[in-house]
Amino acid sequence: MQSEEEYWRMSDGVGNWVFAGVCLVIGLVLARLIIRERVTLQGSMSYVAFLAVLGAMAVFPDATGWVAHKLGFSTLANFFFCAAIAALAILHLRALVTISKIQLRSIALTQELAILQERLDREIARTTEKSPERAA
């Protein structure tokens, strides 16, 4: 029987290495997308950090279990899911901030385009009034 203080030790299984490998493969796919310029580096940095933390949790399950135990989680799975949900919430917040910036920039560009269009129309109207033989 395990002692009460070591119930969180998980170093006996190999499933954690499989999960670490999955995180590595996803990281390589993300790196390929960055290199091919399908995804921006700035936008994917938090995702890379999220993968690194999940991979570290898989490679070092004893340390993860110790942290989970110290934070008051009764099982390692609860801590893992809590950390994953927190990371996804952070990624979602970052995406919302990016979308909001793009939306504000789009509104500003539309307004600037409308102002330039109005100036162009006025200039064309003024040029047409000054030289009617050119307009024909």
Residue % of the chain over a pLDDT of 70: 85
Six token digits for residue 65: 């279990």
Q: Quick: pLDDT tens for 37-71.
A: 888 877 788 888 888 888 888 888 888 888 998 99
Asked if 30 contacts 39 with a C-beta cutoff of 8 angstroms, the reply is yes
Residue 120's pLDDT is what? Answer: 95
Six token digits for residue 77: 């799975």
Alpha carbon distance 53, 106 (integer Å):
35
Please state the pTM of the whole predicted model.
0.64
Q: Quick: pLDDT tens for 63-73.
A: 888 899 899 99
